[in-house]
Structure formats: structure tokens, C-alpha cells
Amino acid sequence: MHRFAKPSVFLKLASAIMPWAIGITVVTLAVGLYLALVASPADYQQGDTVRIMYIHVPAAWMGLFCYVGMAICGAMSLIWKHPLADIAARATAPIGATFTALCLITGSLWGEPMWGTWWVWDARLTSMLILLFLYLGYMALVNAFDDSERGSKAGSALALVGVINVPIVKFSVDWWNTLHQPASVARMGGPSIDPSMLWPLFLIAIGFTGYYVIVLIVRVRLELNERRIRALQLGGVGQSVADQHHLAVPAKQAGAGE
């Protein structure tokens, strides 16, 4: 695992993964959406509104998945001080926040016809909202410092503290008697959903994961390039200062003394 922490190795690996990720995302989302919106049957109770589920549930999974990923990256950056883990955690936060927001929005759109209300203060909904707040807090904290490394470290610590919310989201429907339906896919005794509805659900979940991988790679590349540009600029500034003062300071040294 430590091998991949080197940016150059990561970039090479990322370039190899990228076309596959794009291919898988496009295919699974296309097939999944076709199955979900056209081919799958309408629910006997809910009618066509059940189709909101195919976006809502995978988005919720991704919201949790991204948070766990972010916390693991945070732990790695605190323990082994991998700069790449920092960058990955930072890059994951907005993606996870978007999926969480998507889950909440589709959920409220689904709740209106089914429960007759856009929002209820139910354990599952509330814990998901707290997840969104944790993402927002993380992003605010990471960007609040002049020294970006300090921001990443503080953010990693916060992400680890916030992990406590993840099992609460997962088990909220079991612990409290709520309006939100209990677990029907990942449960003891197999899923209680018909395969014709389960397949599109999984395909879209895979598509969302692929999308996450693509955006993650793009954002990490962007950050690495930004850092390289900054280093070059600082090196350039050091060089020109040295020239002005007729000092024979090598550019590298001047850059290091920023």
C-alpha cells in the first residue's frame, strides 16, 4: 500500500485506471438507468415513484462510503504522514457532500408523495443531515488555515471523530422505530427486494462508484499540478531575488527557504 503513496506511482496508476473507470461508469449508468426507469416494474403500492429509489439509495451508500474513505485517508495521513492521503481526503469531501445532499434531496422528493411531507425529524434523516454537516465542517476547517498542511491535519482529526456517526446512520432504522423503512438490502437472511429492482440498484451503485473514482483522480491530479506550479513559481521568485542581489543562491535552495 505504501508503494502507491508516491505521487508519481499514483499518477501512472491513475492514468491506467482512468479509461476503465470511465467505461464502467458510462456502461453501468446507461444500463442501470434504462433498467431502473423503463424496464423494471412499478411498485404495487408506490407506483412509479419507487423509481426515485434507484438514485436515492446508491447516493446514500456513496455518502457513507466517501465519509469512511475520507476518514481512512485521514488516519493514513496522521499515522504515516503520506501527503497523497491528505490530498485524497480533501478531494473526497466535496464528492461525498454532494452525494449526501443528493440523497437528502431525492429523499424529500420521495417523501412528499409517500409520507405526505417533505421532511420528518426521523432518526435516519436526521443522522444523514448530521453527516452533511460533518462534511461541511470538514471542508470549512481544512480551508481555514494559511498553512494547508495544518488544515489537512486538523481536518483528518475531525474526520476521525465524526466516524462515530456512520454506524448511527446505518443502524438508526433498527435502533429507533421510525417512519423510514428498515434495511432491505444488506440484512440477515438476504435482501427483501425483487431481483428485477435489485439489479438496477447495484448497477447504478457501481456507476456512482466509478464516477467517484473518476472525479477523485481528476481532483488529485489537479491538486498535484497546482502544487507543482506553486513550487516552480516560488523557485522562480527565489531565482529572481537572488539575481537582483547578485547572490549565487541556487534556485532550489531559495525555493526551499520560502
End-to-end CA distance of the chain: 32
Supply the minimum distance, in Å, between the C-beta of residue 234 and another protein.
22
How far is 220 from 7, CA to CA, in rounded Å? 10
- Out of 32, 111, 162, 200, the only residue in the binding site for another protein (CB under 8 A) is 162
SS3 43: strand
Q: Which of 142, 156, 17, 139 is nearest to 85 (CA)?
A: 156
Q: Count the site residues for another protein by CB under 8 A.
A: 22
Tell me whether residue 109 or residue 168 sits nearer to another protein (CB atom): 168
Q: Which of 33, 154, 193, 251 is the binder for another protein (CB under 8 A)?
A: 154
Q: Which of residues 59-118 bind another protein (CB under 8 A)?
A: 78
Element at 155 (helix H, strand E)? helix 148-162
CB of 142 to another protein, least distance (A): 10
- What b/e readout covers 35-57, taking b as 16+ CB neighbours within 10 angstroms? bbeeebeeeeeeeeebbbbbbbb
Rule CB under 8 A: is residue 160 a binding residue for another protein? yes
Q: Which amino acid is at 11?
A: L
x/- map, 121-150, another protein, by CB under 8 A: -----x---x--xx-xx--xx--xxx---x
Grid coordinates representing 78? Answer: 496522521
Residues of the shown chain interacting with another protein in the complex, contacts defined by CB under 8 A: 78, 126, 130, 133-134, 136-137, 140-141, 144-146, 150-151, 153-154, 157-158, 160-162, 165
